Amino acid sequence: MKHVFCLLIGAVLVGCASPQPEYQRPAAPVPAHWPAADAESGQADVAWRRFFIDEGLRATIAEALANNRDLRAAVANVQAARAQYRVQDAARLPTVQLQGNANRQLTRGGDPSLAADSRSVSTGLGVSAFELDLFGRVRSLSDAQWQRYLASEAGAQAARVSLIAETANAYLTLAADRSQLAAARATQQSAERSLALTRERLRLGAASALDVSAMNTVAQQARADVARYQGLAERDRLALQLLVGAELDEARLPAALEGKPFTLAALPVDAPAEALLRRPDVRQAESLLRAAHADVAAARAGLWPKLGLSASSGLSGVTLASLLNTPARALSLALDASLPLLDGGAARAGADQAEAQRLAALAAYEKALQSGFREVADALSQRQALAEEKQARQATLASAETSLRLAEARYRQGLDGYLSLLEAQRTAQSARQQWISASLAEAENMAALYRSLGGGLEEGSG
């Protein structure tokens, strides 16, 4: 017994002399500044309801957050991870059990004097196999499970931000294709008017059948464009409905892309060290790194002696009445110490495996930072170029529409032939399509920047 207590005292002293190292956040392997010269400084953690300023878009996003099945699954996984943490954390406290037992044994033989009838009743409280956490093994396992819960929570937040961005992109794409559809219908109407005018000129002898055929070709092409954009708009609507997870209210859907802004015009961006650490995927990767760090601590603690405690206290009697009136009392207390000596290197291999997994988690965390930096840098670098392109496309569209009006007037007056009108119509149609595409690209870039910065938490729903 003296040797056992000496061993326990020595184990405690060794454990106190060699505490597990505290977690230190690794340095971010990314530049200290964004490459874009126009990156604005400031707090970028803007709630999505303030960033997306269009009422219809905000209502659609809110409905998607409430109904999307993938997001529901992510939230359920968070709840499961929290329950698993509670299971693991319960191991840090002893489990006390109430036990009861009633037994009767009847023995009969040929000689009646040898017959026996024995009865016993017992009850008590017991603690079995509770580990005294001298070296923090159980605490480290609990810390690891807590970090995994935080990782699942960050993963759910990442899914939430992705859903917001995907819903916004689907909404904007629907708006753009409806704008293209409206432009195609306007082109079809213009082409049909020109076709009717050319047929009238043919009747009067001022145009040829070739002119009519050429104008009819333009009109039929415009008709085909209308059908194509009708199909695209319907496909966009179905995709948006799938994201939302419910029937869409047409009153909330966009009629066109132009005419009103959908997002804030600018979004300030913090330095990389602050901006990237707000991203849910980076927080998820760091939580998994912290969990791996705790797993290493638990594996190393497993190399040292373990001390277990078992205890019980109870009452026993022959009958229930004797158990209540004159019970026999029993008390048991046992300490169990174990130290791995010859296990074929299994304990050491477990510690090496935990360290290797920590290094893998570290690499995943650094990769998450680098991927996040690239996404933000790409969005920032495109922002100014897309804004300038949209302005140029808008100016081109204005000039093309002016040229089309002049060409139509000159054609009606007989000053120019149909070729000039056809070229003006094609130019105006192409300019409008390019302007709508540039407007969509700029709006999607703002949504991508918001997503790459991790999105903002909405009060009461984050």
> By C-alpha distance, which of 250, 252, 237 is closest to 52?
252
Share of the chain above pLDDT 70, in %: 81
Q: 47-56, 151-160, 177-186, 323-332: which has the minimum mean pLDDT? A: 323-332
Taking the whole predicted model, whether its pTM rises above 0.85 is answered as no
The answer to whether the CB of 48 falls within 8 A of the CB of 60 is: no
Cα–Cα distance measured from residue 95 to residue 85, given in angstroms and rounded to the nearest whole number: 17
33-42, 69-78, 288-297: least confident range: 33-42
Q: Is the pLDDT of residue 43 over 60?
A: no
Name the pLDDT band for 437 (thresholds 50, 70, 90). very high
Residues 249-268: pLDDT tens digits? 999 999 999 878 898 877 77
Name the CA radius of gyration of the chain, rounded: 38
The pLDDT of residue 56? 93
- Extract the tokens encoding 42: 């400031």
Is the pLDDT higher at 167 or at 108? 167
**How do 328-338 and 96-107 pair as beta strands?**
unpaired
Q: What is the per-residue pLDDT for 459?
A: 46
Token pair of 417, please? 């032939």
Average pLDDT of the chain, as a whole number: 82
pLDDT of residue 320 exceeding 90, the answer is no
In this structure, what are the phi and psi dihedrals at residue 141, rounded to the nearest 5 degrees? -65, -40
- Looking at residue 391, its amino acid is Q
- The Cα–Cα gap between 280 and 155 comes to 6
Cα separation values, 415 from 14, 132, 337, Å: 103, 101, 107
- Taking alpha carbons only, the member of 394, 5, 309, 378 closest to residue 127 is 309
CA distances from 130 to 4, 83, 332 (A): 18, 21, 14
pLDDT of 460 above 60: no
CB 424 within 8 A of CB 407: yes
CB-side exposure of 438: number of CA atoms within 13 Å? 20
